[in-house]
Structure 1
Amino acid sequence: MKISKKLAKILRHDAESLKLPIDEKGYVPVDLILKMNFFKSLNVDLEHLKKIVETNKKQRFNLKFDNDKKVYLICANQGHSIKKIQNSNLIQLKNYPDDFPDFIIHGTFKSKWPLIKESGGLKKMNRNHIHLTTNLPNSENNFVISGMKTSSNVFIYINIKKCLDNNIIFHKSLNNVILTEGNKDGIIPLDCFERVIDKNDNPLDF
């Protein structure tokens, strides 16, 4: 877990400040990751890294071999704050309703709900995208792998059609998280919310 969290932090937020080469899709050469003191101190090698990628419950990472450069590359599938990484490794959802899931939901907490209302909607904050998912945590129909904390207790259902009418574009990551940059102000406004409920299905006003 410690290795996975450190790896996610580097690939999502710290690669540039650590002087690691990272491309516009978020890929970093694995050999440079493994040369870092943190990973060397834990004797992490390529096989160990492969296992982390394969067994990570949230499917946070993607590992590939670059045949041209003859090196392994690794990226975080979503959650970036590094600005050069935007949508080039994502699938844009274009055709409504065919390309879209039945629901798009943002999970948050009761403690944060008043601030969301006061600020006028969901914001990217310090990340490149607003993170959404297609169902509730531990749902019988579709267990949420990533895109929402399992401890979330407030669920914001997004009105997809209203968002599209407001030129809000949605993408899907390699681990099926729904991502959007929001409108021109980087927000999904309150009037694009379909409904908001708590974990007991009680409706919340907005």
Structure 2
Amino acid sequence: MASYNGNIDLLSLNGAQVFKGIDTKNPERVYVCIPADLNEIKVEQAPKDPTRTLAKMRVNIWPLNEQYKAKVRQAALERGDSNVTVPTHEMQMSYSLDYIKTVAQKFPKLVEQVKEAQKERDPDIVNQDPTDENTHLFKAIRQRMNKRLAMLYQPQATQQPSPYATPNVGVAGAATGYTAPAESTDPLAGYTDADVDDLPF
């Protein structure tokens, strides 16, 4: 079975920010904070260990097509790099169908932006139901939301680990521990249709 490696850019997750000052015992420690609701991260107790909390996010891993890989090789040759490592797969966020339908219902301006971007390729898209998962419109909304998190490579013995960097670190206010919300909580509460330009997807 093949194995792959790569780096997930945690800051490409929707609304992710870097903070320090969260941990009073280690005030210089850097944290990457990711909003669970904007990334459909399910925070739940482990089924067999009630003292352990899980934060699960769905992802898809897709093979890259040969045309893309050929372009990567060609660009490397044009730069004079003969020892190029070509990515073979990409990892994307993967929202559930229900979450995409919720976004489509709650943000009609987002739906209109997707229709506008796609109507030249498919004029009928303007008449489609954004919550019908069999339509081109629904698939275009899902494609806009499911963004790339990482490029994956087959391992090579000569690869060097990349150094860690600490970019744009903010200072957190008073952080609190996690408390599970009520089951009926709207995952997109706090966002209105007027905020569509602030949406990360």
Q: Shorter-normalised TM-score: what interval?
A: under 0.3
The structure whose residues are more often helix, as a share, is 2
